[in-house]
Amino acid sequence: NILFESCSSGGARFDPGMLYYAPQTWTSDDTDAMERIKIQYGTSYVYPLSSMGSHVSAVPNQQVGRVTPLSTRADVALFGTFGYELDLNRLTEKEKDLIKDQICFAKKYRTLIQQGVFYGNESAWMVVSEDKNEALVGYYNFLSVPNGPWKRLYLKGLDKDKKYIMDEEHLKLYTGDELMNAGIVINSKHHSDFSSEIFVFRSME
């Protein structure tokens, strides 16, 4: 099979008519993860995640010179077609192992990301399955502040009457109503500049 990808030419020409011929578009040549949060969020107003070309690129970033963690770069690229554009020969063994884990994670949740309902703003993204039984949430921190307050992240699109468990690591049970109206706590002390966090929620029903 051959996949054609069209190009937005720097983000200015993400043409909906081209989706008839090419099911995805290279969202922008600006591949910096923090810049991409704004770019991909803005694109989501009109286009589905499945149409957005999104890659993990090398650091320092070619466009802005910023150095962001490999985990953050992947957490942003995850909400799109997901791929890599960097020299594997320059990576450490630890980075290669992390990339293997990232690819496995992306493949595991590919259907949810490509076919789920997307909700987002410029600091958090969320995809919910059509049956509301599964949700993937990404939180993005730009710049840290001293003694920053804890934040609450309010989720959307869940079934208020269902019970949800937050990934295997936390093993905490929530109701959909609780997650949407009380949210989950984001501890600012756990986040440095340009960091991110991914949460997975599954219905227990």
Give dist(CA 195, CA 187) in Å, integer: 12
Side-chain half-sphere CA neighbours of 12 within 13 A: 2
Buried b / exposed e along 29-64 (16+ C-beta atoms within 10 A):
ebbbbbbbbebbbebbeebbbebbbbbbbebebeee
Catalytic residue list: 15, 95
Give dist(CA 187, CA 192) in Å, integer: 11
Give dist(CA 75, CA 102) in Å, integer: 9
Sign of dihedral through CA atoms 190, 98, 71, 165? negative
